[in-house]
Amino acid sequence: MNIGIPRERRDSEWRVGLTPAGVRLLTEAGHTCFIEHNAGLGSGFLDYDYQQAGGQIVYSGEEVYGRADLLLKVARPTVEEFGWMREGQIVMGFLHLAAGRREKIETLLQKRITAIAYETIQDDEGRLPVLTPISQVAGRMIPHVAGTLLQNNYGGKGILLGGVPGVAPADVVILGGGTVGTYAARAFLGLGASVHVLDRNLERLQYLDTLFKGRVTTMVSHTFNIERVVRFADVLVGAVLVPGARAPILVTREMVRSMRPRSVIMDISIDQGGCVETSRPTTHSNPTFEEEGVIHYCVPNMTGVLGRTATHALNNASWPHVRLITELGLEKALEADPALARGVNTRDGEIVHPVLRAAYEAINATKGANG
C-alpha cells in the first residue's frame, strides 16, 4: 500500500500524521511511504529521519496526494487539499465534518473517499481512543493559556489563577466533565484556582467529586445553573462533545453579556462548531477577540503548537488502526475492528456515520426551505 504523510497546512499546525518510527514499521512490512518535504519539522523530525526509516521525500502536497492510497492527516484538509484528493482514497485525521462546509462533504462523496475521522473512532464502551490523548494534552494546556490571557498585557483582569494569601484565586467554570474538562480541572486545581465543573451526567459528576476529593464544585448542566455560574466566572471553558455532531450552544450571547468585563472564554468545542453563541474560530497567529466585553479564545487546533508532544500522543493511539488497515486492507480491517468502523464518516459516495448523516440532511432541509 502507498501511504502519504503530507505537511499540515493550517495556521500554526506543527503536528504530523506519522512519526519516523511508524514509517519504519510500515516500510519494513513492504509498504511505501511518501513524506512531504519538512512535514515533520514542527514535531522535531527531519526529512533525513524519515529517509533513514525507509520513507521517500516528495516536494509538493499535490504529489503526496497523487501517490497515496492512504493519507495520514492530523487537521481537517484545506480546500486546496480537497482538490488534490483522488477517487477511492482513504483519508484519516481529525476531520470534524459536522462543523465544516457542506461543499467539503460533497467532495468526499463525489470522489468516493473513505473518510475516517479520528474523533469518531469509538469502542464498545463509548470511549474515543484516538481523540482521548489529544484531549488530555488540550486539558493540561488550557490553564497555561488562561493564565496568560488573564494578564493585563493581554487585555485580561490582571488576576493570578491561584491567588496569594489574603487574595482570592480566580473562579474557573468548566462546561463538560469529559476528558478535556477533567484534565483541565486537575491542572487548574494544581495552580490553586477555584474550579466549578458542570455536566449533564450525574454519574460523571459523582466520579469527579470522588476523583478530586470534593475540591471541585460539581453542578448539573442546565440553563439555570449555567446562567448562574457565568456571572462570576473569571475563566469559562467550553469542553462539550457530542461525537460526530456539532456542539450544542450552551452559553447564549445574553449569558456572555452578564459576565464581568475582561473575563476569558476558552471555547475548546470550537472544532465542532463551538458551544458559546459568540464564538468564532481563531488562529494561533491571532488567537483572541473581544465580544460583549469578554475575551474569547477559540483556536480549533489548539494542540497544534505542541507538535512534539501531540504528535507522539496521536501516533500512540492511531497506530493500531493504521497498522490494521495496512495489514488486512480496508474491508477486513473494518470487519475486525468495530471501533475503527464507527470512525468511518463517508465511504463509496455515501455518508455512513449516522450523526453526520443526520446533520447533513438537516442542512439540506434548511437549504431547501430557504429556496
Tens of pLDDT, residue by residue over 225-259, are: 999 999 999 999 999 998 888 999 999 999 999 99
69 is catalytic: no
More confident residue, 102 or 301: 301
- Catalytic choice (47, 96, 171, 353): 96
Superfamily of domain covering 133-304? NAD(P)-binding Rossmann-like Domain (3.40.50.720)
Spatial distance between the Cα atoms of 130 and 78, rounded to a whole number of angstroms: 21
DSSP H helical segments within 152-276, as ranges?
179-191, 202-211, 223-230, 253-257
Same fold, 2-121+307-369 and 133-304: yes
Q: Is the pLDDT of residue 156 over 80?
A: yes
Say if residue 77 is exposed, middle or buried (CB neighbours under 10 Å; 0-12, 13-18, 19+).
buried
124 is catalytic: no
Residue 368 banded pLDDT, cuts 50, 70, 90: low
| Model pLDDT, residue 99 | 84
Spatial distance between the Cα atoms of 87 and 84, rounded to a whole number of angstroms: 10
CB-side exposure of 99: number of CA atoms within 13 Å?
25
Q: Is the pLDDT of residue 114 over 80?
A: yes
How close are the terminal C-alpha atoms of the chain, in Å? 45
Per-residue pLDDT tens over the stretch 47-104 = 999 999 999 999 999 999 999 999 999 999 999 999 999 999 999 999 999 887 889 9
| Model pLDDT, residue 102 | 87
CA angle 118, 120, 124 (to 5 degrees): 115
Is the pTM higher than 0.85?
Answer: yes
Grid cell at residue 232: 462570576
Query: Was domain 2-121+307-369 assigned CATH 3.30.70.260?
Result: no
Cα–Cα distance list, 163 to 158, 237, 305 (Å): 11, 19, 28
> Domain residue spans in the chain?
2-121+307-369, 133-304
Which sign, positive or negative, has the C-alpha torsion 56, 60, 61, 67? negative
Spatial distance between the Cα atoms of 324 and 225, rounded to a whole number of angstroms: 45
Q: Is the pLDDT of residue 188 over 90?
A: yes
- Catalytic choice (47, 171, 234, 271): 271
